Amino acid sequence: MNLVKYIKYNKNRKITLEAWIFCMWYRFVIFHIPMKFLEKHLGVRDGESPMEVQRCDYYWATRVSYEVNRIADKTPWDSKCFVRALAARRILKRRNVKTTLYLGVGMEDGKQMIAHAWLRCGSFYVTGGTGEEFAMVAKFRN
């Protein structure tokens, strides 16, 4: 399917475009801005959004989750979990949906430490899965 048809017939074209732009933006930010400055913009540290949210918030969270994960797989740059979580969070924040961003670490094959980020809205995990296999290091509420 060519790009024109994809955009023309995509009912989520606005979210798709936002996902593309924010994935690109946060990929740039992660590599060019130190984490101590970025942390100020992540939200309230150690805060957590409610586990129960309105039905419309779940609606937005599922749509954004689908689009961000789909677009992040197709970007010419590497859009890993932190980029996906930040992009989804920004899109949901624009729609006044409360989320919690989690940062964690784990062991890969028992040898190498890896970092992971995931985003939760209510009881729905928007990006990054549940993060059960990772030890949570920080969480941020918007």
The reply to whether 80 falls in a domain is yes
d(CA 39, CA 17): 25
The reply to whether 20 falls in a domain is no
The reply to whether 119 falls in a domain is yes
The reply to whether 121 falls in a domain is yes
The residues near 140 (Cβ < 8 Å, ≥ 6 apart) are 42, 43, 44, 45, 47, 100, 101, 103
The reply to whether 96 falls in a domain is yes
Buried-exposed string 85-107: b where 16+ CB fall within 10 A, e elsewhere: bbbbbbbbeeeebbbbbbbbeee
pLDDT for 36:
86
The reply to whether 40 falls in a domain is yes
pLDDT for 141:
92
Tens digit of each residue's pLDDT (9 = 90 or more) over 95-138: 999 999 999 999 888 789 999 999 999 999 999 988 889 999 99
The reply to whether 78 falls in a domain is yes
Tens digit of each residue's pLDDT (9 = 90 or more) over 16-30: 889 999 999 999 999
The reply to whether 86 falls in a domain is yes
What CATH number has the domain bearing residue 135?
3.30.460
pLDDT for 10:
77
**The overall pTM is greater than 0.85:** yes
For residue 37, the enclosing domain spans 30-141
How many domains is the chain partitioned into structurally? 1
Tens digit of each residue's pLDDT (9 = 90 or more) over 41-73: 888 898 888 888 889 999 999 999 999 998 888
